[in-house]
Amino acid sequence: KNEVEQSPQNLTAQEGEFITINCSYSVGISALHWLQQHPGGGIVSLFMLSSGKKKHGRLIATINIQEKHSSLHITASHPRDSAVYICAVNAGGTSYGKLTFGQGTILTVHP
């Protein structure tokens, strides 16, 4: 079993829909990251969370440390949101800054 699991693996939505991507992890962490990877391949960091909730524009990320679960929400989705969304964690202990990744969620938003 992977240390970081995402669901769903694929997600198709119509423009304007509210989207939720889930991430569960099995290790102790110091932080959780949500990353976005566009078809061109580049990776952009969206959020880094260690507790609570963060919001940036139409994106909201939440984390529940006790349940080892995080969600990424996209409100009023748009075709430009189509990308792969990747959950990653900084594991606790002496892991320094390295990231352990989920398998990614492929999001397609249709106009």
Binding to another protein by CB under 8 A, coded x per residue (else -) over 28-47, reads -xxxxx-x-----xxxxx--
Residues 6+ apart with CB under 8 A from 105: 6, 7, 8, 9, 10, 11, 21, 84, 85, 86
Q: Name which of 77 and 91 has its Cβ closer to another protein.
A: 91
Residue type, 29: I
Q: Name which of 97 and 111 has its Cβ closer to another protein.
A: 97
Partner residues linked to 51 by β-bridges: none
Which pairing describes strands 105-110 and 10-14: parallel, antiparallel, or unpaired?
A: parallel
3-class DSSP state for residue 50?
coil
Question: Residue 8: is the preceding peptide bond cis (ω within 30°)?
Answer: yes
Q: Name which of 17 and 24 has its Cβ closer to another protein.
A: 24
Q: Name which of 33 and 109 has its Cβ closer to another protein.
A: 33
> Under rule CB under 8 A, which residues in 51-90 are in contact with another protein?
86, 88, 90
105 is an interface residue for another protein by CB under 8 A: no
96 is an interface residue for another protein by CB under 8 A: yes
Task: List interacting residues with another protein (CB under 8 A).
Answer: 29-33, 35, 41-45, 48, 50, 86, 88, 90, 92-104
